[in-house]
């Protein structure tokens, strides 16, 4: 993934917001009732749940839409829901996330809901409310009309099939045909053993069990199953299959090739919705211009995040950015950010619980005093942002002979340090405006400063942060280094 990390971060930090994605499929409401189990009922041999908490989540195709919204995409949802209390609850959730429900058709059937009763992290019972009847033909025709009219307004389409009736063969065929005519990618998450239902899609994304049903090969015979999957690609006119394999990661299958993205090691709490996260991230990434392999790696990373949560919870943009931007893996060039990107990066870090530390300076001719300062800064938080005076600023502060090293080179050297998470140039004489924008949790300066003499201390303290003063290393400064060099040169002459 690293060769395309710049492209990935550009998408996450703004590019996804330019993309429109249409999700068509089975809309559900997921309810969770959590409580404590302390005794068995005297009326029957069943546990008694003392109710503690209840909450609702968007499920099925609606969860796919929530994942897209979490990535920052403009998201449109199409499918069915009833005229009932469940519809009102799920509509509220989607509206709050900014998901457009213009494609949803009001059905004579009830809104699908699943209520899970959980005691001490263990699911004890699930209550499903749904009709066994297929949606009436007139409602399916209405869905086809709405969905196909939206296809040419988006950059990608997802068919989220939970086998609840919304994605009939006629709906799939009409949508895929409309998207193909416009060159719009279609990703399908199947719940049927007959993959011909999704013929012509860009990618179909089964798990191992679903691929086993489609091919007749036992799920535990992984190699034979993947070989059979490759045959399905050409058979149904699909560009590639994306097979999710739980702890084995994700495999991309072309007729004559494969790509394997290993699973990211993570403690698993709940796999609910992981497939929704994969297909949402894959579709958005593919629509955003990422290579298939990179899109799959990103989808794999996103799935690793959501399985660490309880319940159906979508991935959030800031979680992916935080996972992608540890200073130990970022190339130096990826740490040098302009004012707009540093503001977004800091906001994402803060959303993920990081503590933002800020320091600033000219850093002309890097020396041990600088290194000690930066290492000291890192002790006060988890992300260090370094404000670097641009050349014009250094010249005004230090005189016409400075800087000795130009701003691009200074930024590149500083960004290569493990202690530094981001470098941002500022043209002003002081970083006051930058500090006001970023509102760091900790502002650090070295030397003979007092808190009251540090530029930006009031802005930081008013925002709830603090100022730290660290000692300098005696005898080390750029000015002293320059003097020594000049003295040496005079002796040599």
Buried b or exposed e, range 170-188, using 16+ CB within 10 angstroms: ebbbbbbebbbeeebbbbb
Peptide bond into 403 cis (omega under 30): yes
Structural tokens at position 21: 């994605």
Long-range CB contact pairs, 481-489, < 8 A, 24+: 481/365, 481/367, 482/365, 482/404
Catalytic residue among 30, 100, 276, 441: 276
SS (H, E, C) 116-165: EEEECCEEEEEEEECCCCCCCHHHHHHHHHHHHHHHCCCCEEEEECCCCC
Q: Cα 209 from chain centroid?
A: 26
CA torsion 370-374-377-378 (nearest 10°) is -160
DSSP string for 404-434: SS-HHHHHHHHHTSTT-SEEEEE-SSSSHHH
Is 276 annotated as catalytic? yes
CB 229 within 8 A of CB 250: no
Structural tokens at position 240: 């590639």
Which residues are identified as catalytic? 276
């Amino acid at each position: 993934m690293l060769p395309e990390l710049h492209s990935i971060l550009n998408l996450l930090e703004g590019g996804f917001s330019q993309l429109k994605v249409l999700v068509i499929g089975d809309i559900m409401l997921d309810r969770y009732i959590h409580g404590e189990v302390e005794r068995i009922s005297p009326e029957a041999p069943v546990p008694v749940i003392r109710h503690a908490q209840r909450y609702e989540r968007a499920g099925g195709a609606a969860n796919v839409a929530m994942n897209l919204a979490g990535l920052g995409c403009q998201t449109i949802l199409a499918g069915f829901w009833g005229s009932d209390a469940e519809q009102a609850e799920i509509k509220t959730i989607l509206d709050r996330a900014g998901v457009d429900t213009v494609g949803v058709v009001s059905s004579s059937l009830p809104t699908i809901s699943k209520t899970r009763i959980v005691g001490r992290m263990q699911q004890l019972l699930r209550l499903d409310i749904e009709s066994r009847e297929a949606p009436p033909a007139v409602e399916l025709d209405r869905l086809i009309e709405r969905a196909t009219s939206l296809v040419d307004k988006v950059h990608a389409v997802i068919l989220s099939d939970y086998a609840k009736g919304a994605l009939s063969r006629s709906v799939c065929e009409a949508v895929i045909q409309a998207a193909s005519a416009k060159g719009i990618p279609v990703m399908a998450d199947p719940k049927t053993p007959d993959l011909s239902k999704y013929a012509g899609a860009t990618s179909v994304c089964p798990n191992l069990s679903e691929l086993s049903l489609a091919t007749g090969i036992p799920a535990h015979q992984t190699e034979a199953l993947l070989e059979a999957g490759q045959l399905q690609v050409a058979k149904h006119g699909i560009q590639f299959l994306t097979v999710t394999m739980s702890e084995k990661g994700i495999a991309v299958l072309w007729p004559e090739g494969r790509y394997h993205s290993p699973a990211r090691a993570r403690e698993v709490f709940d796999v609910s919705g992981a497939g929704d996260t994969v297909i949402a991230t894959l579709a958005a990434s593919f629509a955003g211009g990422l290579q298939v392999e990179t899109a799959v790696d990103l989808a794999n990373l996103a799935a690793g995040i959501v399985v660490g949560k309880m319940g159906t919870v979508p991935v959030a943009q800031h979680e992916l950015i935080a996972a992608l931007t540890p200073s130990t893996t970022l190339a130096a060039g990826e740490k040098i950010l302009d004012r707009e990107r540093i503001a977004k990066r800091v906001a994402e870090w803060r959303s993920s619980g990081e503590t933002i530390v800020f320091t600033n300076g000219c850093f002309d001719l890097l020396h041990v005093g600088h290194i000690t300062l930066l290492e000291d800064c890192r002790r006060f938080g988890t992300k260090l942002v370094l404000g670097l005076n641009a050349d014009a600023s250094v010249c005004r502060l230090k005189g016409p002979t400075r800087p000795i090293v130009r701003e691009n080179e200074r930024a590149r050297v500083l960004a290569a340090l493990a202690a530094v998470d981001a470098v941002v140039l500022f043209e002003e004489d002081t970083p006051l405006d930058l500090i006001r924008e970023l509102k760091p949790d900790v502002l650090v300066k070295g030397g003979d400063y007092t808190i009251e003499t540090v530029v930006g201390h009031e802005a930081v303290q008013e925002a709830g942060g603090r100022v730290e003063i660290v000692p300098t290393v005696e005898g080390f400064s750029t000015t002293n280094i320059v003097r020594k060099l000049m003295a040496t040169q005079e002796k040599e002459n």
